[in-house]
Amino acid sequence: MWHPCRKAHVNVGCVAVTGSQLAGQERLFASRKSERMAHGIAVIDQQRFEFPAWTDKLRPLIAVGALGGLVYVTLIVWFGGSAKTLNVGFAPNQPVPYSHALHVGKLGMDCRYCHTTVENAAMAAVPPTQTCMNCHSVLRTQVASLEPVRDAYATGEPVHWKKVHDLPDYVYFNHSAHVARGVSCVSCHGRVDQMEVVTQVEPLSMSWCLDCHRNPYPNLRPPELVTDLAWEPSEDPEALGRRLAEERHINPSTDCSTCHR
């Protein structure tokens, strides 16, 4: 359809402007722009910025990323606060339901019968299947719960026990050094003789270890009583510990290299 502003005029915002008028306005704008730039004043073209069409594809990705971030943070908080991470309360199910309350508490078995290296090595060894079969080759030989032990004995494959008290690889801990100085199993592992399922009761963190190294006296006892988990001192534990520390020249190190070698 023919319009009166076509050919000779340009229609701008419903106002008819001639070509010469429009050219004059453009020259005036360019002149003012040059003047402002000469005085160091930034000039921004008043044009609307439009994102490229391909950015529309980013919207679902941003939504997925936000949802994934929420799930990630939730998992980090949940796992960071779990018993396995904080250690205290960690009590994994074992392949064989071994009861320390029965074997140690009721039957009176000494810790060293199974953990044979605790007095002379850094690690408290897990007993081989043969140790279990010393008794169970003649006792409770048909109990279903002991089937993994019998299978391990027959095949030579070990029972895959789950480690409860697991220190980081960068930490060196020597059981024999502590046992020889009169630090009982109870100090770190609690009353294992009362546990149906072994549970970690102490954090075993660096600050927790340092607290004991700085003040070891409440945790010291005569070395021959280290595996007597029910033993209680007849005097103030700290006073006894101080006397034992003086007699045995016990002065735990707090140097970093003691545990980080």
Is the same domain home to 103 and 211? Answer: yes
Q: What is the pLDDT of residue 140?
A: 95
Residue 64: inside a domain: no
**Same-domain check for residues 106 and 205:** yes
Same-domain status, 25 and 103: no
Whether 42 maps to a domain, the answer reads no
Based on the domain organization, do 21 and 107 belong to the same domain?
A: no
Q: List the beta bridge partners of residue 10.
A: 17
21, 115: one domain: no
Q: Same structural domain for residues 26 and 122? A: no
Are 110 and 219 in the same domain? Answer: yes
Question: Whose CA is closest to 214, among 177, 180, 241?
Answer: 241
Please check whether residue 171 lies inside any domain of the structure. Answer: yes
- Residue at 37: amino acid letter: M
Candidates 108, 106, 124; CA nearest to 116 is 124
Task: Please report whether residue 141 resides in a domain.
Answer: no
178 and 108 co-located in one domain: yes
Residue 119, token pair as written in the block: 């007095």
**Residue 52, domain member (yes or no):** no
> Which letter does DSSP use for residue 18 in this model?
E
CB atoms within 10 A of CB 234: 6
pLDDT at 2: 47
**Region 169-177: what's the mean pLDDT?**
95
Asked whether the beta carbons of 92 and 164 are under 8 A apart, the reply is yes
Does residue 44 register a pLDDT over 80?
no
Residue 155 covered by a domain: no
pLDDT of residue 100: 98
> pLDDT at position 180, please?
97
In a domain? residue 47 = no
Instruction: Flag whether 82 is in a domain.
Output: no
The confidence score (pLDDT) of residue 53 equals 82
DSSP state of 183: B
Kindly report, residue by residue over 205-237, the tens digit of the pLDDT.
Answer: 899 999 999 999 999 999 999 999 999 999 999
Residue 49: what pLDDT? 74
Structural domain count, the chain? 2
Helix/strand/coil for 9: strand
pLDDT of residue 97: 96
Give the pTM.
0.68
Is the CB of residue 104 less than 8 Å from the CB of residue 229? yes
Residue 1 pLDDT grade (very low, low, confident, very high; cuts 50, 70, 90): very low
Q: Strand pairing partners for 16? A: 11
Both 109 and 198 in a single domain?
Answer: yes
| pLDDT tens string 106-121 | 999 999 999 999 999 9
Range of the domain at 105: 91-126+161-252
